[in-house]
């Protein structure tokens, strides 16, 4: 794999004190150039532990939401000169040791966006995923594949890698500050022509791992349905600014020669 690229891991953190150390310890040190942690108003020792670990730390003055956290993560990773940005949740639900597999399709120039899929390894309920979350995941994925014209196994994963150019092409600031951000950015990538692929990853389900409640998941599902409707309208010609690629906002105008 090419050795000249800079790999930055971003950790969107909220009350991750119990799992941050073990998550960081499992990152492959020879592969990761920099780790950025953004704390979204935690009330535990997340910030203290991040400082002890020597992470590049950014602290929100209150809890703004998961999407707002990611916006800061990606903004700062791009400022740091990252070529590949990998989101690793500090709750240890996804295995940090799989980072080489996550970035490999980008290194091989086969993808611009890589999603770590729990579904490619079989039924995630065997790993502890609640049945109602599995059913919702399957149903929403069918609708998303139909809307986006893809054949992905799931869209609702928190283990992701991005080529720098992919993040630069989309308007992150127009996205939600909550969990819908993850699906909005996928819609933006698709409309920008980015190549998306998946790699199989297991997931852990335990008390310390962050997990949305049934009510939160229900509201999230409804918001995704609204997003898909808006995207279909966009593709039908009712263009919406959120989905339009930043790279298409201008073009180079050639200088005309003065022949007089």
Residue 223 lies in a domain: yes
CA gap 192, 219 in Å, rounded: 27
Residue 257 lies in a domain: no
In this prediction, residue 252 carries a pLDDT of: 43
Note the helical H segments in 54-191. Answer: 66-79, 99-107, 131-148, 164-169, 181-191
Mean pLDDT of all residues belonging to the chain: 88
Contact 72, 63 (CB under 8 A): no
Q: pLDDT tens digits for 11-41?
A: 999 999 999 999 999 999 999 999 999 999 9
Which H or E element spans position 22?
Answer: helix 20-25
Residue 252 lies in a domain: no
In this prediction, residue 259 carries a pLDDT of: 42
Contact 51, 130 (CB under 8 A): no
In this prediction, residue 251 carries a pLDDT of: 43
Contact 127, 118 (CB under 8 A): yes
Supply angle C-alpha 55, 58, 63, rounded to 5.
125
In this prediction, residue 70 carries a pLDDT of: 98
Residue 259 lies in a domain: no
**Span between the terminal Cα atoms of the chain, in Å:** 54
Looking at the structure of the chain, the number of domains it has is 1
- Per DSSP, the three-state class of 85 is strand
Residue 2 lies in a domain: no
In this prediction, residue 210 carries a pLDDT of: 53
Residue 11 lies in a domain: yes
CA gap 125, 22 in Å, rounded: 24
Residue 194 lies in a domain: yes
Residue 238 lies in a domain: yes
Q: pLDDT tens digits for 96-116?
A: 999 999 999 999 999 999 999
In this prediction, residue 257 carries a pLDDT of: 45
Domain CATH for 179: 3.90.550.10
In this prediction, residue 211 carries a pLDDT of: 57
- Per DSSP, the three-state class of 87 is strand
Greatest alpha-carbon pair distance for the chain in Å reads 77
Give the chain's residues under pLDDT 50.
1, 248-253, 255-260
The pTM score is 0.86
Residue 152 belongs to what domain range? 7-242
Q: Which residues contact 32 (CB under 8 A, 6 or more apart)?
A: 7, 8, 9, 99
Which H or E element spans position 9?
Answer: strand 7-13
């Amino acid at each position: 794999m090419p050795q000249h690229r800079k790999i930055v891991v971003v950790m969107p953190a909220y009350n991750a004190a119990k799992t941050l150390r073990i998550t960081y310890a499992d990152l492959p040190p020879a592969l990761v150039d920099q780790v950025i942690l953004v704390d979204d108003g935690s009330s535990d020792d997340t910030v203290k532990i991040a400082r002890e670990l020597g992470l590049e730390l950014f602290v929100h003055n209150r809890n703004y939401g998961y999407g707002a956290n990611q916006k800061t993560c990606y903004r700062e990773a791009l400022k740091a000169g990252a070529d590949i940005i990998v989101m690793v949740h500090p709750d240890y639900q996804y295995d940090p040791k799989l980072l080489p597999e996550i970035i490999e399709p980008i290194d091989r120039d086969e993808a611009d966006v890589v999603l770590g899929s729990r579904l490619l390894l079989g039924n995630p309920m065997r790993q502890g995923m609640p049945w109602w979350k599995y059913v919702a995941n399957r149903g929403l994925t069918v609708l998303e594949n139909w809307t986006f014209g893809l054949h992905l196994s799931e869209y609702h994963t928190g283990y992701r890698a991005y080529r720098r150019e992919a993040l630069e092409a989309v308007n992150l600031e127009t996205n939600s500050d909550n969990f819908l951000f993850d699906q909005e950015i996928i819609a933006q990538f698709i409309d920008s022509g980015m190549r998306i692929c998946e790699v199989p990853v297991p997931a852990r389900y335990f008390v310390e791992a962050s997990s949305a409640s049934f009510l939160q998941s229900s509201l999230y599902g409804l918001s995704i349905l609204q997003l898909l409707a808006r995207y279909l309208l966009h593709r039908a010609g009712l263009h919406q600014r959120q989905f339009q690629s930043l790279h298409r906002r201008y073009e180079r105008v050639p200088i005309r020669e003065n022949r007089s």
